[in-house]
Structure 1
Amino acid sequence: MGTVAIIGEAVRVAAYGPAGALVLPAEDAEAVRTVWRALGPDVAVVILTPSAADFLADVTGGPPRVVMPR
Structure 2
Amino acid sequence: MVAIGAQARVAGLSLAGVGVLVAEDPEAVRRAWQSVSDEVTLVIVTPAAAEVLSQTQLQGTRPLVAVMPE
Band the TM-score falls in, shorter-chain normalisation: 0.7 to 0.9
**Counterpart selection for 1:42 from 39, 49, 54:** 39
- Runs (4 or more) in structure 1 with deviation over 6 Å come to none
Question: What TM-score results when the alignment is normalised by the length of structure 2?
Answer: 0.87
Structure 1 or 2: more strand by fraction: 1
- Report the CA distance shift for 1:10/1:48 in structure 2 as closer, same or farther (over 3 A): same
Gaps of 5+ in 2: none
Give the residue type in structure 2 aligned to 1:5.
V
Q: How far did 1:59 drift?
A: 5.0
Structure 1 or 2: more helix by fraction: 2
Question: What TM-score results when the alignment is normalised by the length of structure 1?
Answer: 0.87
**C-alpha root-mean-square deviation of aligned residues, in Å?**
1.4
Paired residue for 2:65? 65
Q: Distance in 1 between matches of 2:6 and 2:63?
A: 20
Give identity over the alignment, percent.
45
